[in-house]
Amino acid sequence: MVYRKPRVMVINPKWMRSAGKRDAEFFAEKVNAAFIWDINLENLLKAIDEAKKKKAPVFANGVEKLAEVILEF
């Protein structure tokens, strides 16, 4: 996200104790990434094309915001 490159997110079905499909889809949407659940070459190529068309999101600097909150104490 920092480098503003196209992003493709692939969930590993073997790691179901970490983030589930729903959480992964939510995160992919948040960072404007193409998301793949069914991993195969055709889906990967489609996701790469989709990712190239998406704009990188711009987020506020969280460090600055945190510093402001801390200084308000």
* Selection from 8, 29, 30, 27 nearest residue 19 by Cα: 27
Angle (CA) 14-51-25 rounded to 5° is 40
* Residue 46 pLDDT: 96
pTM of the model: 0.67
Give the mean pLDDT of the chain. 86
Helix intervals (H) in the chain:
21-30, 41-53, 62-71
For the chain, domain boundaries: 8-71
Q: Is the pLDDT reported for residue 71 higher than 90? A: yes
